[in-house]
Structure 1
Amino acid sequence: MASRSAAGVIGLVLLLHLVTAAAAVEGNWREEQARDRVPRVPGQGFNTSFAHYAGYVTVSEQRGAALFYWFFEAAEDPGSKPLVLWLNGGPGCSSIAFGLGEEVGPFHVNADGKGVHMNPSSWNKVANLLFVDSPVGVGYSYSNTSDDIKRNGDARTAKDSLAFLLMWLERFPQYKGREFYLTGESYAGHYVPQLAQAIKRYHEATGDKSINLKGYMVGNALTDDFHDHYGIFQFMWTTGLISDHTYKLLNIFCDFESFVHTSPQCEKILDIASTEAGNIDSYSIFTPTCHASFASSKNKVMKRLHYDPCTEKHSIVYFNLAEVQKALHVNPVIGKSKWETCSEVVNAHWGDCERSVLHIYHELIQYGLRIWVFSGDTDAVIPVTSTRYSIDALKLPTVTPWHAWYDDDGEVGGWTQGYAGLNFVTVRGAGHEVPLHRPKQALTLIKSFLAGSPMPVQSSAHSDM
């Protein structure tokens, strides 16, 4: 049964849903889709075979709260493809900036910040792809209520996201009942399972199956405070970022409680660890940091690496352009303030935050949802060690033992293990943003996930004679 608080959330969302549904009966959804259609974006020097839409969905009339979305139909035969929602974390970071602009979206921002280019590994090759800036105060999303963006937290984010989905489906009714999957990374390790839980409880309370949730997948995901923090120290030590002595001191002075509520001793050792690690990108420890020599897309090193470490800076330029905001139907009032990839205000004032979402995994596994967890193995922020400890804490029986999986070139793409109710996949050489560092492997990942198939194993064509 849903808890009392969950039932209250469901009641409010249901009321909003009914109001919106009544309006949709009049056929307004066709007008709303036409209004949100984006013919082209500035700096788009190519045509596309798919339609895309951008705009706002009001999630609370009382607060004047609206979430911004950008939706891309599948590149081919969208009527037969599932609907996939992507969420970035932070909390406070934009799904448009990261998930769309540099990871899984069809359009990636050019190095000059003045245009876009096609992403050959876009996830809209296999799905209809929806990006949402969540919660209010993130990206182009907003609230008309003073200080509302200082009142975000896990519970309200799930509530607003559920309201968004129900009302977005009234605007795009052709996706009602379509197979639906949640995906995301980092703090979306909270957002995604919490939203999945809200959807399932809404189903149980109302019988409304317009959101046909089939499963979810999260990457380098914040999951359990204890295991997440415990795994960081071990990863830093085993990858050679810190000394033996510092590793021992971290485990002495930065136990679970003092790490969450940092003590002076823990702060001192963390500073030492940071100094020892040096000026690296903790989100991708083996790739270069963004500096002046990467300012041009013609940079020889960048071409050799097939990776641009300055993608976030490009997005800051592009999404602050007035002509871009006009093309995406951004609220003109919002456009007057500076667009940011991540909101420090939202992050600094975050309210309720569950210490662990493992109990939600246990609840959702009982529903038979398809649940996958993936991890780029060069991330020192939420490293593969942390994720493995969290999965181990679920105490799920192993179904398929640990083994390598292979990409299209016959190279090891990572490793994987199947559990009863969950599949775990690592992506070799990828950092915190797996699709940014290993786009082709990430496309293989989403293909396998949506098909409910194991990651590919080495074919005979690539095996040794």
Structure 2
Amino acid sequence: MSTLNWVFNCFLIILIARLNLICCIDQQSKEQQQLDRVLKLPGQNFSVSFEHYAGYVTVNKEYGRALFYWFLEADEDPSSKPLVLWLNGGPGCSSIGYGLAEEIGPFHVEKDGKTLYLNPYSWNKAANILFLDSPVGVGYSYSNTSSDILSNGDIRTAAENLEFLLRWFERFPQYRGRDFYLSGESYAGHYVLQLSQAIVKHNRKNGEETINFKGFIIGNALIDDFHDHLGQFQYMWSLGMISDQTFKQLNIYCDFQPFDHASESCNRVLRIAIKEIGDIDWYSIFTPPCRANLSRISPLWRRKNRVGLLRIPYDPCTQQHSTVYFNLPEVQSALHVHINDSSLKWKVCNHVVSKNWKDSPKSVLNIFRKLLHSGLRIWIFSGNSDAVIPVTSTRYSIQSLKLPTISPWRAWYDDGQVGGWLQEYEGLTFVTVRGSGHEVPLHKPKQALTLIKSYLSGNSMPILELVSYHSS
């Protein structure tokens, strides 16, 4: 046998071996997908046209950390639609309990906590949507090492969210190369920015677009402690929620410090502010609160511990309905939930996680500045009736970036009505949603669907089409 033939045969053997390995991996992926496939949910008295999957991805074998996901394909032609990952914040709050079950998901929970209804404004009308409960201890996500629940933080969360994505694409190889976007709200302002940075670094390190990352969109997001506090105090004062004297003292004594490390002088003024504001839902100031609310502690002390309660059709107690539903054994069985301790209960927000959070930078504006020049599509949206991370706070953070204006402030429209306002900067678009609280897709679901469709298409928010009338 000649040397040339020997080399060719060796190459052929290696090629066949690799093809067999790829086929084996693809077959394993298909088998795991089928194991994760959700056939029908308890309380689902309607059919859907899309497939959906739920299960776990191990992100750390040594300690047994596994993150729970729920993936819903687009309801029409999923092969042509992008992939969007949604993250809720807290830290410690479930993307399943909030994002999916009362905001952008197709399955929402009725008042009885046992029945589902179909959300006509689900974001899977625009994209394939992936929900992730992160980090461990949140929702159904777990660790075999109990101390892990007490040691979560921003750094580990970003690293393990990236690990999740890489492993998830191995399980769903048909979505490799698909246009991929990140989205989320509240403390996910940290999650999304940090994960975006991790993806960009990973792609550069590997010299290729391992993840075809196109951009991110975040709403009422925690961005910068100084500007968030400055904007919050001004928002409350401008709407007549607090007195002139309290407003002045908040700015003097609280010094825009994190409320969980506030001085006694700051705490004294905060107590006065809470008394002046009265019994309202800070996350949606113009709608009544849930009278059976599970936790009515003021967000001035726990602004990072939950993400809101309300929904439309109006029901201020959706948190309780989801708590009932996701604790049902038959629901957990349908979603392939791993039960390692039957005494543990599913919670919308796990405050053990938030109370033991290890690292949280005061600002993620530095990450914004780096990503603004990476070619990503970056949008920020804000419901303008949220007093927790109000529109004023977000505007201050954006102003600090000192970006050139591409298109000046204007109104955008939905069905002939003003849906909100926007301004387009170089590298960033800012959109407000009129009459919405902290959870924009919950309060204004139709407008939120318009928002995500505009974002994914790369088009600006719709303008009013003027009709000219001519006299006869």
Whether the TM-score (by the shorter chain) exceeds 0.5 is: yes
Partner of residue 329, structure 1: 336
CA distance in 1, matches of 2:268, 2:154: 30
Partner of residue 291, structure 1: 291
Give the deviation of 1:332 after TM superposition.
Answer: 2.0
1:278-318 Cα shifts (integer Å, max 9, x gaps) = 0000000000111369xxxxxxxxxx973211111100000
- Describe the SS at the equivalent of 1:332: coil
* Pair 1:433 & 2:439 matched: yes
Partner of residue 81, structure 1: 81
* Pair 1:377 & 2:384 matched: yes
Quick check: 1:24–1:171 contact (8 Å CA) kept in 2? no
* Pair 1:311 & 2:323 matched: no
Instruction: Report which stretch shifted further, 127-136 or 199-208.
Output: 199-208
1:92-127 Cα shifts (integer Å, max 9, x gaps) = 000000000000001011111002110000000000
Gaps of 5+ in 1: 1-20, 294-303
Partner of residue 448, structure 1: 454
- How many residues are matched? 434
CA distance in 2, matches of 1:171, 1:212: 16
From the superposition, tell whether residues 279 and 464 of structure 1 become closer, same or farther in structure 2 (CA, over 3 Å): farther
Partner of residue 273, structure 1: 273
* Pair 1:343 & 2:346 matched: no
Partner of residue 466, structure 2: 460
Partner of residue 126, structure 1: 126
* Pair 1:232 & 2:232 matched: yes
Give the deviation of 1:355 after TM superposition.
Answer: 1.1
Partner of residue 91, structure 1: 91
- Describe the SS at the equivalent of 1:32: helix
From the superposition, tell whether residues 463 and 444 of structure 1 become closer, same or farther in structure 2 (CA, over 3 Å): farther
Partner of residue 402, structure 1: 409
CA distance in 2, matches of 1:183, 1:367: 17
- Describe the SS at the equivalent of 2:340: helix
Give the deviation of 1:463 after TM superposition.
Answer: 10
CA distance in 2, matches of 1:141, 1:180: 23
Partner of residue 221, structure 1: 221
Q: Give the letter for the 1:412 counterpart.
A: V
CA distance in 1, matches of 2:435, 2:351: 29
CA distance in 1, matches of 2:33, 2:274: 49
CA distance in 1, matches of 2:312, 2:221: 25
Quick check: 1:24–1:170 contact (8 Å CA) kept in 2? no
- Describe the SS at the equivalent of 2:189: helix
CA distance in 2, matches of 1:235, 1:119: 32
1:262-286 Cα shifts (integer Å, max 9, x gaps) = 0101001001101111000000000
Partner of residue 320, structure 1: 327
Q: Give the letter for the 2:366 counterpart.
A: H
Partner of residue 262, structure 1: 262
CA distance in 2, matches of 1:336, 1:34: 29
Give the deviation of 1:422 after TM superposition.
Answer: 0.2
Equivalent residue runs for 1:197-208 within 5 Å: 197-208=197-208
CA distance in 2, matches of 1:110, 1:246: 41
Partner of residue 6, structure 2: none
CA distance in 2, matches of 1:420, 1:283: 30
CA distance in 1, matches of 2:189, 2:470: 39
- Describe the SS at the equivalent of 1:102: helix
Quick check: 1:140–1:334 contact (8 Å CA) kept in 2? no
* Pair 1:360 & 2:349 matched: no
Question: Once superposed, which parts of structure 1, at least 4 consecutive aligned residues long, lie more than 3 Å away?
Answer: 21-24, 257-260, 461-465
CA distance in 2, matches of 1:45, 1:355: 46
Instruction: Report which stretch shifted further, 325-334 or 130-139.
Output: 325-334
Gaps of 5+ in 2: 1-20, 294-310
From the superposition, tell whether residues 207 and 23 of structure 1 become closer, same or farther in structure 2 (CA, over 3 Å): farther
* Pair 1:411 & 2:453 matched: no
Instruction: Report which stretch shifted further, 411-420 or 201-210.
Output: 201-210
Q: Give the letter for the 2:463 counterpart.
A: V
Partner of residue 308, structure 2: none
Give the deviation of 1:462 after TM superposition.
Answer: 9.8
Give the deviation of 1:207 after TM superposition.
Answer: 2.5
Partner of residue 4, structure 2: none
Partner of residue 11, structure 2: none
Quick check: 2:225–2:257 contact (8 Å CA) kept in 1? no
CA distance in 1, matches of 2:257, 2:170: 45
Quick check: 2:410–2:421 contact (8 Å CA) kept in 1? yes
CA distance in 2, matches of 1:23, 1:314: 44
Q: Give the letter for the 2:57 counterpart.
A: V
CA distance in 2, matches of 1:464, 1:225: 54
CA distance in 2, matches of 1:461, 1:86: 38
Equivalent residue runs for 1:160-179 within 5 Å: 160-179=160-179
Instruction: Report which stretch shifted further, 304-313 or 193-202.
Output: 304-313
Q: Give the letter for the 1:396 counterpart.
A: L
Q: Give the letter for the 2:278 counterpart.
A: G
- Describe the SS at the equivalent of 2:251: helix
Quick check: 1:232–1:382 contact (8 Å CA) kept in 2? yes
* Pair 1:47 & 2:71 matched: no
From the superposition, tell whether residues 272 and 390 of structure 1 become closer, same or farther in structure 2 (CA, over 3 Å): same
Quote the RMSD (CA, aligned, Å).
1.9
Quick check: 1:362–1:394 contact (8 Å CA) kept in 2? yes
Give the deviation of 1:335 after TM superposition.
Answer: 5.0
From the superposition, tell whether residues 455 and 192 of structure 1 become closer, same or farther in structure 2 (CA, over 3 Å): same
Quick check: 2:217–2:379 contact (8 Å CA) kept in 1? yes
Give the deviation of 1:336 after TM superposition.
Answer: 4.0
